[in-house]
Amino acid sequence: MKNIFFFIISLTTVLIIAVSCNQSSNKNTEPKATDPISNSETQNLSSTQNDTSNSVVPIDTTAKKVEQQDVQNFSIAPIVKDYLALKNALVADNDKAAASAGKQLFSTLKNVDMKAIPANKYKEYVEIAENAKENAEHIGDNAGKIDHQREHLASLSKDVSDLIVLFGTTPKLYQDYCPMYNEGKGAIWISEAKEIKNPYYGKKMLTCGSVKKEL
Amino acid sequence: MVLFIFIAIQFYQPSPNVDKGQVYTTDFTQVNKMPVEVKAMFQNSCYDCHSNNTNYAWYDYVQPTRILVENHIKNAKEDLNFNEWGTYSNRKQERLINSIKEQIETKQMPLSSYTLMHKKAILNDEQIKTLTNWLKEQQ
Protein backbone atom coordinates (compact mmCIF):
# COMPACT_ATOMS: atom_id res chain seq x y z
CA MET A 1 0.00 0.00 0.00
CA LYS A 2 2.81 2.40 0.98
CA ASN A 3 4.76 1.46 -2.17
CA ILE A 4 1.80 2.29 -4.39
CA PHE A 5 1.38 5.64 -2.66
CA PHE A 6 5.03 6.55 -3.23
CA PHE A 7 4.72 5.40 -6.85
CA ILE A 8 1.85 7.78 -7.54
CA ILE A 9 3.63 10.68 -5.85
CA SER A 10 6.85 10.11 -7.80
CA LEU A 11 5.02 9.67 -11.11
CA THR A 12 3.01 12.86 -10.69
CA THR A 13 6.13 14.74 -9.58
CA VAL A 14 7.94 13.59 -12.71
CA LEU A 15 5.01 14.65 -14.87
CA ILE A 16 4.72 18.06 -13.23
CA ILE A 17 8.45 18.61 -13.74
CA ALA A 18 8.20 17.50 -17.36
CA VAL A 19 5.27 19.82 -18.05
CA SER A 20 6.83 22.83 -16.32
CA CYS A 21 10.19 22.18 -18.02
CA ASN A 22 8.37 22.21 -21.36
CA GLN A 23 6.69 25.51 -20.55
CA SER A 24 9.80 27.19 -19.12
CA SER A 25 11.97 26.20 -22.09
CA ASN A 26 9.49 28.12 -24.25
CA LYS A 27 10.01 31.17 -22.03
CA ASN A 28 13.79 30.79 -22.19
CA THR A 29 13.99 31.11 -25.95
CA GLU A 30 12.54 34.60 -25.91
CA PRO A 31 15.21 36.47 -23.93
CA LYS A 32 17.93 34.64 -25.88
CA ALA A 33 16.58 36.02 -29.16
CA THR A 34 16.86 39.60 -27.97
CA ASP A 35 20.40 39.24 -26.64
CA PRO A 36 22.32 39.56 -29.95
CA ILE A 37 20.31 42.69 -30.78
CA SER A 38 21.18 44.33 -27.45
CA ASN A 39 24.83 43.36 -27.94
CA SER A 40 25.12 45.06 -31.31
CA GLU A 41 23.46 48.16 -29.95
CA THR A 42 26.00 48.56 -27.19
CA GLN A 43 28.77 49.93 -29.30
CA ASN A 44 31.66 48.29 -27.54
CA LEU A 45 33.48 47.39 -30.72
CA SER A 46 37.09 46.81 -29.83
CA SER A 47 39.91 47.12 -32.33
CA THR A 48 40.44 43.38 -32.17
CA GLN A 49 36.94 42.92 -33.46
CA ASN A 50 37.73 45.17 -36.42
CA ASP A 51 40.82 43.12 -37.19
CA THR A 52 38.90 39.88 -37.15
CA SER A 53 36.21 41.37 -39.39
CA ASN A 54 38.90 42.38 -41.89
CA SER A 55 40.39 38.94 -41.96
CA VAL A 56 36.94 37.47 -42.49
CA VAL A 57 36.39 39.46 -45.71
CA PRO A 58 38.36 37.22 -48.12
CA ILE A 59 36.41 34.22 -46.89
CA ASP A 60 33.17 36.13 -47.43
CA THR A 61 33.91 36.89 -51.08
CA THR A 62 34.66 33.28 -51.89
CA ALA A 63 31.44 32.30 -50.16
CA LYS A 64 29.66 34.91 -52.26
CA LYS A 65 31.22 33.53 -55.44
CA VAL A 66 29.95 30.05 -54.65
CA GLU A 67 26.51 31.48 -53.88
CA GLN A 68 26.39 33.31 -57.19
CA GLN A 69 27.26 30.13 -59.03
CA ASP A 70 24.48 28.31 -57.20
CA VAL A 71 22.12 31.13 -58.02
CA GLN A 72 23.07 31.06 -61.69
CA ASN A 73 22.59 27.34 -61.66
CA PHE A 74 19.11 27.39 -60.18
CA SER A 75 16.67 25.89 -62.61
CA ILE A 76 13.07 24.86 -62.38
CA ALA A 77 13.60 22.20 -65.06
CA PRO A 78 13.15 19.23 -62.67
CA ILE A 79 9.90 20.75 -61.40
CA VAL A 80 8.62 21.30 -64.95
CA LYS A 81 9.64 17.78 -65.95
CA ASP A 82 7.67 16.23 -63.11
CA TYR A 83 4.69 18.49 -63.79
CA LEU A 84 4.60 17.43 -67.45
CA ALA A 85 4.65 13.75 -66.46
CA LEU A 86 1.72 14.40 -64.14
CA LYS A 87 -0.17 16.35 -66.79
CA ASN A 88 0.38 13.62 -69.38
CA ALA A 89 -0.89 10.97 -66.97
CA LEU A 90 -4.15 12.90 -66.66
CA VAL A 91 -4.34 13.30 -70.44
CA ALA A 92 -4.26 9.51 -70.54
CA ASP A 93 -6.99 9.28 -67.83
CA ASN A 94 -4.47 7.42 -65.68
CA ASP A 95 -5.14 8.37 -62.05
CA LYS A 96 -2.56 5.93 -60.65
CA ALA A 97 0.22 7.32 -62.83
CA ALA A 98 -0.93 10.82 -61.92
CA ALA A 99 -0.71 9.93 -58.23
CA SER A 100 2.85 8.64 -58.48
CA ALA A 101 3.78 11.64 -60.60
CA GLY A 102 2.28 13.83 -57.88
CA LYS A 103 4.39 12.12 -55.23
CA GLN A 104 7.46 12.56 -57.43
CA LEU A 105 6.75 16.25 -57.93
CA PHE A 106 6.20 16.73 -54.20
CA SER A 107 9.55 15.11 -53.51
CA THR A 108 11.30 17.27 -56.12
CA LEU A 109 9.82 20.42 -54.63
CA LYS A 110 10.77 19.37 -51.12
CA ASN A 111 14.39 18.78 -52.17
CA VAL A 112 14.92 22.12 -53.88
CA ASP A 113 18.14 23.79 -52.73
CA MET A 114 16.69 26.96 -51.23
CA LYS A 115 20.14 28.57 -51.07
CA ALA A 116 20.33 28.49 -54.84
CA ILE A 117 17.37 30.78 -55.34
CA PRO A 118 18.25 34.40 -56.16
CA ALA A 119 17.40 36.68 -53.25
CA ASN A 120 15.10 38.97 -55.22
CA LYS A 121 12.93 36.04 -56.28
CA TYR A 122 13.04 34.11 -53.05
CA LYS A 123 9.83 35.35 -51.46
CA GLU A 124 7.79 34.86 -54.59
CA TYR A 125 9.27 31.42 -55.16
CA VAL A 126 8.33 30.32 -51.65
CA GLU A 127 4.74 31.52 -52.07
CA ILE A 128 4.33 29.62 -55.34
CA ALA A 129 6.23 26.52 -54.24
CA GLU A 130 4.32 26.08 -50.98
CA ASN A 131 1.10 26.06 -52.95
CA ALA A 132 2.49 23.71 -55.59
CA LYS A 133 3.63 21.32 -52.86
CA GLU A 134 0.12 21.15 -51.43
CA ASN A 135 -1.33 20.53 -54.89
CA ALA A 136 1.24 17.84 -55.69
CA GLU A 137 0.63 16.18 -52.34
CA HIS A 138 -3.12 16.06 -52.85
CA ILE A 139 -2.76 14.64 -56.35
CA GLY A 140 -0.39 12.04 -54.94
CA ASP A 141 -2.91 11.04 -52.26
CA ASN A 142 -5.88 10.72 -54.57
CA ALA A 143 -5.39 7.77 -56.87
CA GLY A 144 -8.87 6.61 -57.78
CA LYS A 145 -10.31 10.13 -57.63
CA ILE A 146 -9.30 11.59 -60.96
CA ASP A 147 -11.81 14.44 -60.70
CA HIS A 148 -10.17 15.62 -57.53
CA GLN A 149 -6.72 15.26 -59.08
CA ARG A 150 -7.85 17.40 -62.00
CA GLU A 151 -9.13 20.11 -59.63
CA HIS A 152 -5.66 20.32 -58.17
CA LEU A 153 -4.10 20.31 -61.63
CA ALA A 154 -5.88 23.59 -62.32
CA SER A 155 -4.28 25.22 -59.27
CA LEU A 156 -0.93 23.51 -59.88
CA SER A 157 -0.81 24.65 -63.51
CA LYS A 158 -1.13 28.26 -62.40
CA ASP A 159 1.73 27.70 -59.96
CA VAL A 160 3.99 26.15 -62.60
CA SER A 161 3.09 28.81 -65.14
CA ASP A 162 4.03 31.53 -62.63
CA LEU A 163 7.31 29.74 -61.87
CA ILE A 164 8.13 29.65 -65.57
CA VAL A 165 7.41 33.35 -65.92
CA LEU A 166 9.57 34.03 -62.86
CA PHE A 167 12.57 31.85 -63.74
CA GLY A 168 12.33 31.14 -67.44
CA THR A 169 12.59 27.84 -69.24
CA THR A 170 14.98 26.49 -71.85
CA PRO A 171 12.78 24.15 -73.89
CA LYS A 172 9.84 25.94 -75.44
CA LEU A 173 6.60 25.45 -73.54
CA TYR A 174 3.00 26.35 -74.27
CA GLN A 175 0.30 27.64 -71.99
CA ASP A 176 -2.98 26.07 -73.09
CA TYR A 177 -6.47 27.00 -72.03
CA CYS A 178 -9.61 24.91 -71.65
CA PRO A 179 -12.63 27.23 -71.45
CA MET A 180 -15.14 24.61 -70.34
CA TYR A 181 -13.49 23.21 -67.24
CA ASN A 182 -14.90 24.00 -63.78
CA GLU A 183 -18.38 24.88 -64.99
CA GLY A 184 -17.14 27.29 -67.60
CA LYS A 185 -14.65 29.12 -65.42
CA GLY A 186 -11.84 27.58 -67.45
CA ALA A 187 -8.39 26.31 -66.59
CA ILE A 188 -4.88 26.43 -68.02
CA TRP A 189 -2.20 23.82 -68.41
CA ILE A 190 1.39 23.79 -69.55
CA SER A 191 2.34 21.66 -72.52
CA GLU A 192 5.64 20.64 -74.12
CA ALA A 193 4.03 20.32 -77.55
CA LYS A 194 1.86 22.61 -79.61
CA GLU A 195 -0.73 19.88 -80.21
CA ILE A 196 -3.72 20.17 -77.86
CA LYS A 197 -4.17 17.19 -75.53
CA ASN A 198 -6.56 18.11 -72.74
CA PRO A 199 -5.65 16.76 -69.28
CA TYR A 200 -8.94 17.91 -67.72
CA TYR A 201 -11.17 15.76 -69.91
CA GLY A 202 -8.78 13.15 -71.27
CA LYS A 203 -10.14 11.08 -74.11
CA LYS A 204 -13.65 12.42 -73.47
CA MET A 205 -12.63 15.69 -75.11
CA LEU A 206 -8.97 15.35 -75.99
CA THR A 207 -8.63 18.25 -78.38
CA CYS A 208 -10.68 20.79 -76.46
CA GLY A 209 -8.65 23.91 -75.83
CA SER A 210 -6.24 26.31 -77.47
CA VAL A 211 -2.74 27.67 -77.11
CA LYS A 212 -2.95 30.87 -75.11
CA LYS A 213 0.71 31.84 -75.13
CA GLU A 214 4.21 30.53 -75.68
CA LEU A 215 6.56 30.54 -72.71
CA MET B 1 -1.75 -0.55 -12.35
CA VAL B 2 -3.61 0.62 -15.45
CA LEU B 3 -5.80 2.81 -13.25
CA PHE B 4 -2.75 4.49 -11.76
CA ILE B 5 -1.28 5.21 -15.17
CA PHE B 6 -4.66 6.51 -16.29
CA ILE B 7 -4.81 8.87 -13.31
CA ALA B 8 -1.19 9.92 -13.78
CA ILE B 9 -1.58 10.88 -17.45
CA GLN B 10 -4.46 13.19 -16.52
CA PHE B 11 -1.84 15.49 -15.08
CA TYR B 12 -0.46 16.24 -18.55
CA GLN B 13 -2.66 19.03 -19.90
CA PRO B 14 -1.07 21.14 -22.68
CA SER B 15 -2.15 24.75 -22.97
CA PRO B 16 -5.59 24.89 -24.57
CA ASN B 17 -6.43 26.42 -27.95
CA VAL B 18 -8.40 29.43 -26.72
CA ASP B 19 -8.14 33.11 -27.57
CA LYS B 20 -10.62 34.67 -25.11
CA GLY B 21 -12.85 36.21 -27.75
CA GLN B 22 -10.22 37.96 -29.83
CA VAL B 23 -11.56 39.54 -33.00
CA TYR B 24 -9.53 39.06 -36.17
CA THR B 25 -9.75 41.47 -39.08
CA THR B 26 -8.18 38.69 -41.14
CA ASP B 27 -10.91 36.21 -40.27
CA PHE B 28 -12.59 34.30 -43.10
CA THR B 29 -16.03 35.60 -42.13
CA GLN B 30 -14.71 39.19 -42.00
CA VAL B 31 -12.84 39.13 -45.29
CA ASN B 32 -15.65 37.42 -47.20
CA LYS B 33 -19.22 38.61 -47.22
CA MET B 34 -21.56 35.72 -46.59
CA PRO B 35 -25.15 35.05 -45.57
CA VAL B 36 -25.73 34.66 -41.84
CA GLU B 37 -26.54 30.96 -42.11
CA VAL B 38 -23.35 30.28 -44.09
CA LYS B 39 -21.28 32.03 -41.44
CA ALA B 40 -22.99 30.00 -38.70
CA MET B 41 -22.27 26.75 -40.54
CA PHE B 42 -18.57 27.50 -40.81
CA GLN B 43 -18.36 28.49 -37.17
CA ASN B 44 -20.34 25.53 -35.85
CA SER B 45 -18.82 22.84 -38.02
CA CYS B 46 -15.30 24.00 -38.71
CA TYR B 47 -13.98 26.58 -36.28
CA ASP B 48 -13.33 24.26 -33.31
CA CYS B 49 -10.33 22.83 -35.15
CA HIS B 50 -9.63 25.39 -37.86
CA SER B 51 -9.27 28.50 -35.70
CA ASN B 52 -7.49 29.87 -32.63
CA ASN B 53 -10.45 29.21 -30.41
CA THR B 54 -11.84 25.80 -29.51
CA ASN B 55 -14.99 25.33 -27.48
CA TYR B 56 -13.87 22.45 -25.30
CA ALA B 57 -16.30 20.11 -23.60
CA TRP B 58 -15.42 18.44 -20.31
CA TYR B 59 -14.53 15.13 -21.91
CA ASP B 60 -12.01 16.83 -24.20
CA TYR B 61 -9.82 17.30 -21.13
CA VAL B 62 -9.71 13.61 -20.27
CA GLN B 63 -6.53 11.90 -21.42
CA PRO B 64 -5.77 10.31 -23.81
CA THR B 65 -8.62 12.10 -25.60
CA ARG B 66 -6.97 15.44 -24.83
CA ILE B 67 -3.81 14.59 -26.75
CA LEU B 68 -5.79 13.32 -29.73
CA VAL B 69 -7.92 16.47 -29.78
CA GLU B 70 -4.87 18.75 -29.60
CA ASN B 71 -3.27 16.79 -32.42
CA HIS B 72 -6.34 17.26 -34.58
CA ILE B 73 -6.35 20.98 -33.85
CA LYS B 74 -2.64 21.39 -34.57
CA ASN B 75 -2.87 19.62 -37.93
CA ALA B 76 -6.07 21.41 -38.84
CA LYS B 77 -4.62 24.86 -38.17
CA GLU B 78 -1.50 24.06 -40.18
CA ASP B 79 -3.64 23.24 -43.21
CA LEU B 80 -6.20 25.99 -42.74
CA ASN B 81 -6.78 28.57 -40.01
CA PHE B 82 -9.91 30.59 -40.74
CA ASN B 83 -8.76 33.36 -38.38
CA GLU B 84 -5.73 33.97 -40.59
CA TRP B 85 -7.55 33.83 -43.92
CA GLY B 86 -6.71 37.45 -44.78
CA THR B 87 -2.98 36.72 -44.50
CA TYR B 88 -3.12 34.03 -47.17
CA SER B 89 -2.08 34.85 -50.73
CA ASN B 90 -4.75 34.85 -53.44
CA ARG B 91 -3.17 31.71 -54.77
CA LYS B 92 -3.56 29.93 -51.43
CA GLN B 93 -7.09 31.21 -50.92
CA GLU B 94 -8.13 29.93 -54.34
CA ARG B 95 -6.68 26.51 -53.66
CA LEU B 96 -8.30 26.33 -50.21
CA ILE B 97 -11.75 27.40 -51.43
CA ASN B 98 -11.60 24.48 -53.82
CA SER B 99 -10.37 22.08 -51.14
CA ILE B 100 -12.99 23.19 -48.61
CA LYS B 101 -15.71 22.64 -51.20
CA GLU B 102 -14.36 19.20 -52.06
CA GLN B 103 -13.96 18.12 -48.43
CA ILE B 104 -17.51 19.15 -47.51
CA GLU B 105 -19.04 17.67 -50.67
CA THR B 106 -17.43 14.30 -50.05
CA LYS B 107 -18.31 14.50 -46.32
CA GLN B 108 -14.67 14.06 -45.34
CA MET B 109 -15.13 17.24 -43.32
CA PRO B 110 -16.18 17.81 -40.61
CA LEU B 111 -14.44 14.69 -39.29
CA SER B 112 -16.81 11.92 -38.26
CA SER B 113 -14.83 11.44 -35.06
CA TYR B 114 -15.67 15.06 -34.27
CA THR B 115 -19.35 15.02 -35.24
CA LEU B 116 -19.82 11.84 -33.22
CA MET B 117 -19.53 13.95 -30.07
CA HIS B 118 -20.62 17.28 -31.54
CA LYS B 119 -24.03 16.79 -33.08
CA LYS B 120 -24.40 20.51 -33.65
CA ALA B 121 -21.55 20.38 -36.16
CA ILE B 122 -23.15 17.83 -38.48
CA LEU B 123 -23.98 19.21 -41.92
CA ASN B 124 -27.08 17.75 -43.54
CA ASP B 125 -27.40 17.46 -47.31
CA GLU B 126 -29.22 20.76 -47.61
CA GLN B 127 -26.53 22.58 -45.64
CA ILE B 128 -23.83 20.95 -47.73
CA LYS B 129 -25.55 22.22 -50.83
CA THR B 130 -25.84 25.75 -49.41
CA LEU B 131 -22.17 25.81 -48.48
CA THR B 132 -20.88 24.37 -51.73
CA ASN B 133 -23.04 26.74 -53.77
CA TRP B 134 -21.67 29.70 -51.82
CA LEU B 135 -18.11 28.37 -52.23
CA LYS B 136 -18.62 27.95 -55.97
CA GLU B 137 -19.65 31.59 -56.18
CA GLN B 138 -16.33 32.54 -54.58
CA GLN B 139 -14.33 30.72 -57.26
Report if pTM > 0.80. Answer: no
pLDDT band per the 50, 70, 90 thresholds, residue B139 = confident
Shortest CB distance from A185 goes to which of B11, B102, B139? B139
Is A107 an 8 Å CB contact of chain B? no
A205 touches chain B (CB under 8 A): no
Q: Which of B11, B92, B99 sits opposite A12 (nearest CB)?
A: B11
Nearest-angstrom CA–CA distance, B90 and A7: 56
Is B20 a residue whose pLDDT tops 70?
Answer: yes
Average pLDDT over residues B121-130: 95
pLDDT score, position A204: 93
Q: Could you read off the pLDDT of A41-68 as tens digits, one per residue?
A: 444 434 444 444 444 444 555 555 555 5
Percent of chain A with pLDDT over 90: 61
What is the reported pLDDT for A51? 44
Give which of B91, B100, B101, B106 to mutate to test A binding, by max A Cβ within 10 Å: B91
Q: Look at residue A26 in the predicted model and tell me its pLDDT.
A: 43
pLDDT (0 to 100) of residue A147: 93
Q: What is the mean pLDDT of residues B71-75?
A: 95
Per-residue model confidence (pLDDT) at position A74: 86
Tell me the shortest Cα–Cα distance from A148 to chain B, in angstroms: 8
Measured over all CA atoms, what is the biggest interatomic distance in chain B, rounded to whole angstroms? 57
- CA distances A211 to A61, A76, A196, B12, Å, are 46, 22, 8, 60
For the segment B108-134, the average pLDDT, to the nearest whole number, is 94
pLDDT in tens, A98-157: 999 999 999 999 999 999 999 999 999 999 999 999 999 999 999 999 999 999 999 999
Average of per-residue pLDDT across A147-173:
94
pLDDT at B129 over 70: yes
Q: What pLDDT shows up at residue A31?
A: 39
What value does the mean pLDDT take over residues A17-32? 46
Average pLDDT on A33-42 reads 40
Residues of chain B above pLDDT 70, percent: 100
**Mean pLDDT, all residues of chain B:** 93
- Judged by CB atoms closer than 8 Å, whether chains meet at B12 and A11 is answered as no
Question: In this model, does residue A30 exceed pLDDT 80?
Answer: no
Can you give the pLDDT at residue A176? 96
Binned at pLDDT 50, 70 and 90, residue B92 comes out as very high
Q: Do B91 and A159 touch (CB under 8 A)?
A: yes
Query: Which whole number is the average pLDDT over B16-38?
Result: 92
Of all residues in chain A, what percent carry a pLDDT higher than 70?
Answer: 67
Average pLDDT over residues B30-39: 94
Please tell me if residue B67 touches chain A, with a CB cutoff of 8 Å: no
Whether the predicted pLDDT of A82 surpasses 90: yes
Closest CA to B51 of B90, B77, B78: B77
Q: What mean pLDDT value characterizes chain A? A: 79
What is the reported pLDDT for A215? 87
Q: Quick one: average pLDDT of B8-30?
A: 91
Which long-range contacts does B113-117 make (Cβ < 8 Å, 24+ apart)?
B113/B72, B114/B48, B114/B49, B114/B72, B115/B45, B117/B57, B117/B59
* B20 in A contact zone (CB under 8 Å): no
Give me the mean pLDDT over the B109-135 stretch: 94
